[in-house]
């Protein structure tokens, strides 16, 4: 199978899961597809979409390159970014799911790509995104009893941790 262009990938996605897709941006430096956060929350739809990305012979995104999250306080949004690669077709796709900043929650994709397990734990640790259905959603980088999510833009550095002063010069 040949590599698909971004437009062809979007068309393939829309043919099966058009209701989940809120838009796309082909002109961006990183062309991406926006996922409708509300519809992705309901039931199993988002996992079906990602499984489709992985299993459909035209797309065959067998590699989750990176899963990260970005905080946009001015838009009141935390975006979860999925970067997918196809090692057989040599094409790629970026999915972005803008979640509400108050309660960022999205179904886990750890059963679709095993890579997502630790990536989702990291996104939870640093930005507080809850991945529904994750089997072990605990902090991965910060200490277990750390308070807050450090990569949020409104995070305040604690004055001390376990009696060790956090001197700020």
Closest to other proteins by CB, 27 vs 168, is 168
C-alpha–C-alpha distance, residues 161 and 83, integer Å? 35
CB of 127 to other proteins, least distance (A): 14
C-alpha–C-alpha distance, residues 2 and 141, integer Å? 39
CB of 143 to other proteins, least distance (A): 4
Q: Which of 119, 55, 47 is nearest to 88 (CA)?
A: 55
Residues that bind other proteins (CB under 8 A): 141-143, 150, 155, 157-158, 161-169
C-alpha–C-alpha distance, residues 69 and 136, integer Å? 18
CB of 123 to other proteins, least distance (A): 17
Closest to other proteins by CB, 69 vs 99, is 69
Under 8 Å between Cβ of 113 and 138: no
Closest to other proteins by CB, 77 vs 151, is 151
Name the token pair of 35: 């996922």
Closest to other proteins by CB, 23 vs 158, is 158
CB of 163 to other proteins, least distance (A): 6
């Amino acid at each position: 199978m040949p590599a698909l262009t971004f437009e062809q990938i979007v068309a393939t996605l829309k043919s099966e899961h058009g209701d989940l897709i809120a838009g796309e941006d082909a002109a961006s430096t990183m062309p991406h597809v926006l996922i409708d956060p509300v519809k992705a929350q309901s039931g199993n739809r988002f996992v079906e979409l990602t499984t489709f990305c992985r299993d459909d012979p035209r797309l065959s995104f067998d590699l989750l390159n990176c899963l990260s999250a970005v905080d946009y306080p001015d838009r009141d949004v935390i975006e979860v970014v999925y970067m997918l690669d196809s090692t057989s077709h040599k094409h790629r796709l970026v999915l972005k799911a803008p979640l509400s900043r108050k309660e960022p929650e999205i179904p886990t994709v750890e059963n679709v790509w095993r890579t997502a397990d630790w990536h989702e734990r990291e996104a939870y640790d640093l930005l507080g995104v809850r991945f529904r259905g994750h089997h072990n959603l605990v902090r991965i980088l910060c200490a277990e009893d750390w308070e807050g999510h450090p990569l949020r833009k409104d995070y305040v550095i604690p004055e001390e941790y376990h009696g060790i002063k956090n001197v700020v010069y």
